[in-house]
Amino acid sequence: MKRRSLPLLIAVSILSLFLLLVLTVILVPVDEVKGVVTRALAREGYLLQAEEFRKSFPLGIGVTNAEVRDDRGLLLKLDSATFRLKLLPLCIGKIVLDAHARIRDGEVSVSYQPRTSQISLHSEGIRLQDLPLLQVATGANLQGELFLDGSFSGRGTALHGDLRMEIKRAEFSGIKVSDMPLPDASYETIRGMFRAAGGTGNLESLTFQGDGIYIRLKGTLAMAKSVGAAPLNLTIELMPKPDFLEKQKLVFLLLAKYQKSPGSYQIPVTGTLLSPVIR
């Protein structure tokens, strides 16, 4: 083969692949795509409902008013979302899937490369009260603006990466973990970092600086195939000021067995991410 014909062969191959993908998107009915996605979620125990499924030019699918449920109720609601195969990476032989969703006034973007299992995530302006999953997991009234930024790559024990989290103007009330109440409080800012390496996730000092109380959540979770089934090994450290403790005396009486010293409580949390348990 002549050397000058090699670039032409590569260009023709890429163009052929692109045309094949375009034809696939054009020819495959939207209902078929919806059926594949719905059945995949159903195998994991989730029910998907959406007002509209549509094709999104050039290589994508869009949904409007999508809801994901399980036997406990509504877990996630998206006002709109698009899922696309990015074109520029495809030109150099890389498959990159892009997702963008709007949840009320907040947005979340996810990029995923199947070949390396590399995923990046960014969200801003999402209100905790617009994430039903949190209420399902805690049974609490949670308010505040959530910001996330992170990336992960690899599979199983090779998984590694980190996720930074910040919640502004947070208010938590009615929190119970396996029927054990935690104190109600408001927090100007909550910050934390989650790192994964060797198949284990490490929550590095998620700190809550509140009005009259300081809380720190730390520990590990094993990275399971299903995120919701990830086993927990966490500790909640509560350090209330005397006046705060007096205002919520009943709650701290119930937490008395976890008191390690005056003004300091350490509460162990096990179970799974979607079903936490206080020992």
The pLDDT tens digits for 137-157 are: 777 889 999 999 999 988 767
Strands 60-70, 106-113: pairing kind: unpaired
Q: Pull the structure tokens for residue 31.
A: 């209902």
Bond preceding residue 58 cis, omega within 30 of 0? yes
Q: Which residue has the higher pLDDT, 25 or 29?
A: 29
Average pLDDT over residues 182-192: 90
Inter-residue contact 213 to 239 (CB < 8 Å): yes
115 confidence band (pLDDT: 50, 70, 90): confident
Per-residue pLDDT at 225: 60
Q: Which residue has the higher pLDDT, 54 or 151?
A: 151
Q: How far apart are CA 233 and CA 272, in angstroms?
A: 9
Number of structural domains (the chain) is 1
Q: How far apart are CA 47 and CA 74, in angstroms?
A: 9
18 confidence band (pLDDT: 50, 70, 90): low
Give the domain extent around 81.
5-278
Average pLDDT over residues 94-117: 89
pTM of the predicted model as reported, rounded to 2 decimal places: 0.76
Q: Is the pLDDT of residue 1 over 50?
A: no
